[in-house]
Amino acid sequence: MAAPRIYMDWNATAPLLPEARTAMLEMLDRTGNASSVHFEGRALRAAIEAARRDIAALCGAAPGAVILTSGATEAANLVLTPQFRMGRTPLRIGRLYVSAIEHPAVREGGRFVPENVVSLPVDGDGVLDLAALDAALSSHDRASGLPMVAVMLANNETGVLQPIAAIAARVKAAHGLLVVDAVQAAGRVPLDLPSLGADFLILSSHKIGGPKGAGALVAAGEVLMPAPLIRGGGQERGHRSGTENPMAIAGFGAAARHAAGEIDGRMARVAALRATLETGMRTLAPDVEIHAAGVARIANTSFFSLPGLKAETGHIAFDLEGIALSAGSACASGKVGRSHVLSAMGRDEGEGGLRISIGETTSAAEIGRVLEVFGKIAARRRPAGAAA
């Protein structure tokens, strides 16, 4: 009998939580449309609003400032726009400034034309260059509109945490807007929108154990809002039209409720497992490079390169041994290739990196098996300097 497969790709998607599954199944048995005023419609509306409250609580926001979407990509495209309103007053954004390590959903610039999207450099650990941010904001053409800065709180490949408070202070001083992609950080570090100083957060359901197909744009208030991306029946208070998906939203709410609880305890256990993993990798292959190991990271992520091993080769080798991990990000339709994150860090020499991302149900035995396979793969890679 084949050994069970080991899942080490939580940053791509987390396993569905039992409580999320239960909430979803309950919604499947309900009939109605949440926009209807009869009993069935009101019951669905109540369930959606309960989930909205749980999502808001996860990040310290007001429920009325949560716009439910089909996922983080839609949320990014909703908020990354030159067109905003402050109440009924139009407000224009002149340029979008993004870090070079952003997820493609942000790096592509949403509804901004390409010439108005500016990439900001990071250092060798993948931390935003604050001097470059200062220079960009000081040279911003205010006649074009306000500046917008979009930065991820935790990087999906390296796990590196950005200095959001320092970034927020600079953006506020420049009278700009700050959008924070909190997709990988949610449930792994405490989130408090007022403390972060962000104007908007982006969240994803399936990264925290909810279903795919649900996400949210969370605003710091209910007055400043982007122009709608999807127009129609006026759902989500006119910010996002389309009949709501109660099943996905209920699962998202259940996952958000779980993610908000006992973060420190859950992540302390996960951090201990990662420490065992990285210590073991260094013992088995002293030349392994664990990227950004010297700066703050979310506790579950280890992104590494082995000299003489191409990322795609390692990815396949682990998979054949029954271990699911990633060669960089899983956000590009199954493509395996160079990591734009490593390139931005000045670290990609063509071989790329492998990402192990774990979660609360990962076991010490699974870490042991990963190290066993890592040792085998490291031993049979081509010698450094040999032809590819």
Active site residue 59: no
Token pair for residue 5? 């497969």
Q: Which residues pair with 354 in a beta bridge?
A: 304
Between CA 312 and CA 300 the distance in angstroms is 22
Q: How far is CA 248 from CA 16, 241, 311, in A?
A: 12, 16, 34
Q: Kindly report the CA angle at 180 between 174 and 185, in degrees rounded to 5?
A: 145
Catalytic hit among 331, 343, 369, 375 = 331
Token pair for residue 300? 């579950």
Give, for 195, the enclosing helix (H) or strand (E). Answer: helix 193-196
Q: How far is CA 76 from CA 14, 31, 43, 85, 358, in A?
A: 20, 31, 30, 17, 25
Cβ contact 216:69 at 8 Å: yes
Q: Please report the sign of the dihedral spanned by the C-alpha atoms of residue 96, residue 99, residue 100, residue 101.
A: negative
Question: φ and ψ at 122, to 5 degrees?
Answer: -125, 165
DSSP string covering 10-23, please?
TTT-PPPPHHHHHH
Catalytic residues: 331
